Structure 1
Amino acid sequence: MTQAQQDIERGVMNKVAWRILPFVTLGYFLASLDRVNIAFAALQMKSDIALSDAAFGFGAGLFFIAYCIFAVPANMLLERFGPVRWLALTMVSWGLVSSCMAAVSGPYSFYILRFLLGVTEAGFFPGVIYYLTLWFPSGHRSRAVAILMIALPLSSVLGSPLSAMLLLLDGWFGMRGWHWLFIIEGSPAIFLGIAALWVLPHSVSRASFLTEGDKTWLSGQVEKVPTEKTRASFSDIWKLFCNKYVLALTLIYIGGTSVTNGLSLWQPQIISTFNLTTMQIGFLNSIPFAFASVAMYFWSSHSDKTGERVMHLAIPLAVGAVALTSIIFVNALIPTIIILCIAISAASMIKGPFWALATEMIPARNTAMAIALINALNNLGVFAGTYLIGIIKGHTGSFTYALIPYLAISVVACSLTLWLGHRRQASPRIR
């Protein structure tokens, strides 16, 4: 590639990145915040509405069951109505449901609203991943996804102290702190969803911030949008569901997301066992996710720079498994925080390389459906892990052994990554 070509590429991708990534990353930040803010709300809410550990784990996990059920249908609608309009609708919908969590009055209303939150949010993340494939060529995709995924740890870095402070509003206008937490943290998604219709460009050809030369270059680099004739059917979905490589990719992804999602929901309660104040819990909870934000970006950038994906998945999964094994043998605050930093950072580091690998392996016409399917099946694993923590904690009275399910899936995911890397040498794309 000549210097002139490199300059064109750099200029176009900088324009695209600055226009799209801040907005969708903010959206994903709010999605993650509204998904996991029950972790702090639970410090007050569990006693108010009589939630046991098992009931909390089940209700928290119902989000992922709904997500699993509705992710694929949501993305069929995404292809029909267009990603921008669909993403706007999902943001407004989940913002309303998240705000309504303030009205929870018992276990059943908790279950219902958590399930509805999963329904309304199901189309957002796979929709954004699909949207990014329309704007970012393969060589830029891992970094783009990594920037998006930074929203996950950042939602805990910034959201933890924010949620802790909102709990201190307890008694304000006759409402509990956790009521204010849901109302204040849920409502911004509504306004962002409305703004999406004007901020996010609908297609390369309609992007007013690009010159005609920019549009020509970018259109030649990204894969074509599936047309009506090539949209995935239910037959395509079934073939993907039965494909061993898609299932392997799903289990690999579970190895990372089960750890990050599970600890996002349970970590404040783990830290609270050391008899700390609400604000101390808030700040300590943010530390592992701060490390994860930095590690995720640099690891994904290195993956893009080298073009290597497999070992960029296997190494963090192995490190995470070691960290999760170590936590069984510690019972002091500082070692626990250090191990949580390693475990969450390792699990977060796989996400950029994973989606880069997945979108490189999946045929273009099935990209949206495969992303939705992987994300949907992944959420079954996240639900199982979240619920198991509650059951194990309820039976043992401590979190010492509650993270063992995450250790097991990390080992499985690492092994499957190495197997997939070996098989990929013979067949670069899923057939």
Structure 2
Amino acid sequence: MSSAAGESAGTRQEGTSVDDLERPTIRQISARLMPLLGLIYMVAYIDRQNVSYAKLQMVGDLGLSEAAYGLGASLFFIGYFLFEVPSNLLLERVGARLWFARIMASWGVATVLLGFTSSPTMFYLLRLLLGLAEAGFFPGVLYVLTLWFPHAYRGRAVGSFMLASAVANAVGAAIGGVLLDFDGTLHLRGWQWVFLATGIPAVLLAPVVLLLLPSRPDQARWLGAEQKRWLADTLAREHPEASEREGNPVRALADPRVLLLCVAYIGFPLAAYGLSYWLPTIVKGFGVSNTANGFINVIPWTLVGLALWWVPRHGARFEDQRWHIAGPAFVGALALLLSVLVKGPVLQFAMLCIAAPAIFSGQPVFWTLPPRFLSGARAAAGFAAINSVGNLGGFVAQTVVPKIHDQTGSNLAPMLFLAACLAAAGVMVLLVERRLPRAAA
């Protein structure tokens, strides 16, 4: 970051220089929090996405059509939508340590139970319960990061956290295909192994969270008193008018700026989930084995990880970062469009490898927008509202994309729909960002 931004983010404490406090403190917080939060998110994302591989066998075993499967997969987002705001408000009250451990244990159990699905109805119910169980984790982390990172570092922190989603997709792609080929081991189908092997780690990590994760900076034994004071003072200066308990946090849900950000965000999860759920099906259409399918899908998610690392860091150099949100959206929309127009599986896959990082890379910068006018419990409610409404895009993707496939018979035709939604999201970001107050210098 620039020296001016560094000086504005710091404060001198009894002769201690800004650099002596600011940079070591941020490094220490990053080293302690981000690996653990990233690991949790990676496990969560794998548990959310594992149905894209289980689908390759599960559809036939349960007698599901593509549209019926899409409905079952998308019910996750209904449960997520219903409980996300209440979950984040409870998080703000009880603390991240207890609430994240509860989230992990419950979603792990729901994922394991999916491995014993015996009917379409059971599949629908467990996907709904999985959404209820996991609701609040992603926006909860976004809220928690506002307690630990000043604005100048927040986009990079969110980007580092979201790197776990790229790793999860890459790891999930690699192990998803391999687990399918476990078909028949211990008299279990391959799709059952997918759910069992990905659900158990979440249950095992719950006590680790209880042991290692402090809920707030003042509870961190690994931060010194001066570091805690510097962080508290810096965050207080960024929101001089705000109080952690000021007003009813639910009122944030009626803030026009929150509602506009909800609409703007929908296109990002819609395109992300539409692509990630459908990508294994597209690659399978190239005539490859299940294991090869998984390893080929590692390629786009590796590129997503690189983009999530680079774009927020590049954006941190600029006061106006809106083009670091809208620009990737437009690039992604164009790549999705070209994936339909070009001929040959190699070129089609190449376009999807451009689309994937473009879809994800602007999102960390997007999440720096709500804290420009929200803090405390209102920020917890606002993050949850934006993410819950936006993630309804996942529901739309999982219902509309299979229907487009069924009507056209093409695995690539749904990409046109995703491209249009992503382009609209980019336009909305440019319009909404102008209504927000400028970030602190």
The answer on 1:374 being equivalent to 2:386 is: yes
2:208 corresponds in structure 1 to: 195
Q: Which amino acid aligns with 1:341?
A: C
1:68 corresponds in structure 2 to: 81
2:286 corresponds in structure 1 to: 274
Shift of 1:363: 4.6
Residue in structure 2 matching 1:339, options 345, 351, 372? 351
Alignment of 1:32-431 (within 5 A): 32-223=45-236, 229-230=245-246, 232-234=248-250, 236-240=251-255, 243=256, 245-424=257-436, 427-428=437-438
SS at match of 2:412: coil
Structure-1 separation of matches of 2:217 and 2:334: 45
Q: Which amino acid aligns with 1:59?
A: G
Asked if structure 2 preserves the Cα contact closer than 8 Å seen for 1:78 and 1:127, the reply is yes
Residue by residue over 1:65-116, the C-alpha shift from the partner in whole angstroms, topping out at 9 and shown as x without a partner, is 1111110111121122122211110011101101111011121111111111
Residue by residue over 1:219-242, the C-alpha shift from the partner in whole angstroms, topping out at 9 and shown as x without a partner, is 1122489878426344x04423xx
Structure-1 separation of matches of 2:390 and 2:419: 16
Shift of 1:337: 1.4
Give me the TM-score of the superposition, normalised by structure 1: 0.94
Query: Which one is further off, 108-117 or 378-387?
Result: 378-387
Structure-1 separation of matches of 2:355 and 2:48: 20
2:27 corresponds in structure 1 to: 14
Structure-2 separation of matches of 1:29 and 1:400: 27
Shift of 1:372: 0.4
SS at match of 2:369: helix
Asked if structure 2 preserves the Cα contact closer than 8 Å seen for 1:309 and 1:356, the reply is no
- Does the C-alpha gap of structure 1 residues 285 and 85 become closer, same or farther in structure 2, counting only changes over 3 Å? same
Shift of 1:247: 2.7
Query: Which one is further off, 178-187 or 217-226?
Result: 217-226
Q: Which amino acid aligns with 2:202?
A: A
Q: Which amino acid aligns with 2:30?
A: A
Residue by residue over 1:349-375, the C-alpha shift from the partner in whole angstroms, topping out at 9 and shown as x without a partner, is 111100112222335451000000001
Asked if structure 2 preserves the Cα contact closer than 8 Å seen for 1:58 and 1:390, the reply is no
Structure-2 separation of matches of 1:170 and 1:74: 37
SS at match of 2:286: coil
Asked if structure 2 preserves the Cα contact closer than 8 Å seen for 1:87 and 1:128, the reply is no
Residue by residue over 1:379-420, the C-alpha shift from the partner in whole angstroms, topping out at 9 and shown as x without a partner, is 222211221001111122112321222112112111112212
Q: Among all aligned residue pairs of Structure 1 and Structure 2, give the percentage whose two residues are the same amino acid.
A: 35
Q: Which amino acid aligns with 1:206?
A: Q
Shift of 1:171: 0.7
Asked if structure 2 preserves the Cα contact closer than 8 Å seen for 1:231 and 1:365, the reply is no
- Does the C-alpha gap of structure 1 residues 13 and 209 become closer, same or farther in structure 2, counting only changes over 3 Å? same
Structure-1 separation of matches of 2:160 and 2:96: 19
Structure-2 separation of matches of 1:60 and 1:418: 32
Structure-2 separation of matches of 1:212 and 1:321: 48
Residue by residue over 1:306-328, the C-alpha shift from the partner in whole angstroms, topping out at 9 and shown as x without a partner, is 24321111111111111121122
SS at match of 1:403: helix
Q: Which amino acid aligns with 2:415?
A: L
Give structure 2 stretches of 5+ with no counterpart.
Answer: 1-6
Asked if structure 2 preserves the Cα contact closer than 8 Å seen for 1:393 and 1:402, the reply is yes
Structure-2 separation of matches of 1:248 and 1:284: 37
- Does the C-alpha gap of structure 1 residues 77 and 422 become closer, same or farther in structure 2, counting only changes over 3 Å? closer
Q: Which amino acid aligns with 1:369?
A: A
- Does the C-alpha gap of structure 1 residues 284 and 232 become closer, same or farther in structure 2, counting only changes over 3 Å? farther
Shift of 1:7: 3.4
Asked if structure 1 preserves the Cα contact closer than 8 Å seen for 2:330 and 2:423, the reply is yes
Give structure 1 stretches of 5+ with no counterpart.
Answer: none
SS at match of 2:183: coil
Asked if structure 2 preserves the Cα contact closer than 8 Å seen for 1:232 and 1:369, the reply is no
Structure-2 separation of matches of 1:173 and 1:412: 48
Asked if structure 1 preserves the Cα contact closer than 8 Å seen for 2:267 and 2:390, the reply is no
2:4 corresponds in structure 1 to: none
Q: Which amino acid aligns with 2:164?
A: A
Q: Say what the alpha-carbon RMSD is for the aligned residues.
A: 1.9
Q: Which amino acid aligns with 1:292?
A: V
2:37 corresponds in structure 1 to: 24
- Does the C-alpha gap of structure 1 residues 83 and 58 become closer, same or farther in structure 2, counting only changes over 3 Å? same
Structure-2 separation of matches of 1:301 and 1:82: 29
